Structure 1
Amino acid sequence: MRCVLIISKMQEMSNVLLIIQASLMGVSLTLFFALVLSSLQKTDTTKSYEIVRWLLAFAMLLFAVHYIMQMVFGFRAQGDDVGAVINILFYSPIAYILSYSILRIGCGNNYYRKFRIMSITGTVLISCTFVGGYLYYGSMHMKGALYIMGLLYFFSIVLFIIYPMKEIRRIRKMVDEESGQEPVLFNMYMRTCTKLLWISALCIAFSIFYTPLLVIIGPFFFIALVFYIVCFLALGYNIRQMSNIIVAETEDEVNADGVEAGTVAVKVVMSEERKEMTKALIEGWIKNQGYASSEINSTLLATRLNIPKRQLVQYLREVEGKTFRIWLSDLRLEEAKRLIIEHPEYSTETVAESCGFSRSLLQVKFKEATGFTTNEWRDNHARKS
């Protein structure tokens, strides 16, 4: 009687597993076609975006092939060990593609040479371990080889999470320091989806060894994946060129930069003569209302002043005691206050446009600096006058 109950439960689990596998295969194919068909509708994106699009489409196709093989050959039904072997073989390149796509979207074209070498090495080691294990054990039940594959897969997932996270944080800091622009809303959505994807991928790394847990975690991973792909497609419809905000750097240039953590740099103090020259150039730029351009950043300003960017950044740090972003924001705020006082009839939109802010960013910055909205500050100043 007990054997009958065990067999019945195993059949129920097998049926549930088959339904989930078929559903996830359908989701994978849907995402694949969404990525492919959207390329026909939106053709004016960047080259980097298109590369990521086709890599993601290939990853979705791999997911679909994986689930078709699971259903046809019943690898997971043969045992958790066999199912885990197949999962690792397919999930390793897929995880690499997803991580690579996150890195390329967040950091551009020059931040993944070392990452690519380490990732491909890990994937090759997993494949070699599988081949060696199959030849040694003569079947898919390769307990010793599975342990090695599992460790390699886990360390690969950790690499796929930590490396992009570190680089994206560094690039975001660079953008914050070099640009006074308002964050793109879709970028915030992408960051949220990326975090969900990382968390669920880490959970998958443990759950592939136990089918009941995988049945629960797997669908959650695909929910995060769907949100990520949807945000990626939305980004394609709202993409804008950011090449004038971030100056492309190779990994060698980054490592050679003395300001990076862990290195020793010789601090050179700017001469008084150079400070006066830089100050005069900046004052002339302010007089011509160069800050009114919403696209201005440290690189562009240095080019217009015809001085090295490092000289501009050093001047702002030593003389103003601020980063470029904070200095530009304060400059625009002071100009906004002046316009509100001298032209109380100006609308918030007009003031924002004259200062280089968007309307929403002006309200946020004004509230942070004064504790009032622009209209409240205008009314208070009028009453005091």
Structure 2
Amino acid sequence: MHILFVNGINTHFGGSGKNATSHWMQSFVNNGKEVDLFHTVERFGFKSADFYFKLIQAIYFFPGTIFRIFTTPIAEFFYKISLPVVVKFIFSLLRKNNKYVIFSHHASFYLAFFVPKNKRVFICHDLLYLRAKSMGASRFTQRLTLRIEIKYYKLAAKIYTLSYQEARIIKKFINSDATLIACSSIDSNLYFEATDCNLDFAMVSDWRRPENMHGAVKFFSQSHTYLDKKTINFYIYGYGSENLYFNLFAKYSNNVNLKFHLIGSFTSPLEIKQSFYFIPIYQGAGIKLKTIESIRLNKTVIGTKGAFAGIPPFIMNDTMRRIDSIDDLYTVSKPASNEKLSSFREKFKEYFLDIGAC
């Protein structure tokens, strides 16, 4: 069986999208399937996504760039429309007889018009309808976004999704069943018992993403009581850490109870020694890759409601603990046991399938 996988996001320079795509490619190979990866975003020879890369990309995706400027957040269906991509895609279709063509991310869905319906598979994540609501869009914009989504998802022979909540929404509005797939392996080769009871939290994310920065700034903007309480240490990892660190350091430089430590980029998750991952995020219904990866690393996840979006509430246990305020962090004590972590992994694999086996 041959599969063409159409990647609609920029995965050339790291990030959760790259990790998820790599996981899916390996899953196909492990299950004996032949797969080609088609990128709608070219790297153009750049080593990083700098200003010149973005400028050339804007020209390359004209007229899609116009949609991005004037119609956000609806534009994600259209802002990567590009004649060169269409031509390249048609040639890719002609080279091999594909059993299925899988479209990852709604920015690639317009290419589905060149594929027979019985071969179209969409990977649905970060529903635009929910994003429009979280951004405070007008009711008209919400309705229009929803209608566009419904039109596109009805073009698919099969829909995969990464989120339990999004699967329910697709069922409600499109009357179609969506298959839950995993965006990362959750199995762990680490067999240590976390016993660290210190209030030390790792904040690991791509802080260049607006929703991640927004979540952290919003959480730490809350008022809190801290007299006669222990010091909480936050270790900031990932791309863009400097911006978040200096933002929070300026606000809390005189606070003896909240201490921020800049770590920045790292080469291996094994470098993260803290037993707790702290994920302050409020936007989106899509599953958070950092939450799944933290469980794989035997970490206990502490987060706001958005950190656990996409995960069925009935499989959650002590490995994931929701908090709503800074003061709630003081209630965190011992990390989850290996038994709890193993139990969650097994339940997760019952509901989130391996894409190569679907």
Q: Relative CO higher for 1 or 2, CA cutoff 8 Å, sep ≥ 6?
A: 2
Relative to total residues, which structure has the larger helix share, 1 or 2? 1
Pick the structure with greater CA Rg: 1
Relative to total residues, which structure has the larger strand share, 1 or 2? 2
- TM-score range normalised by the length of the shorter chain: under 0.3
Q: TM-score, normalised by structure 2?
A: 0.21
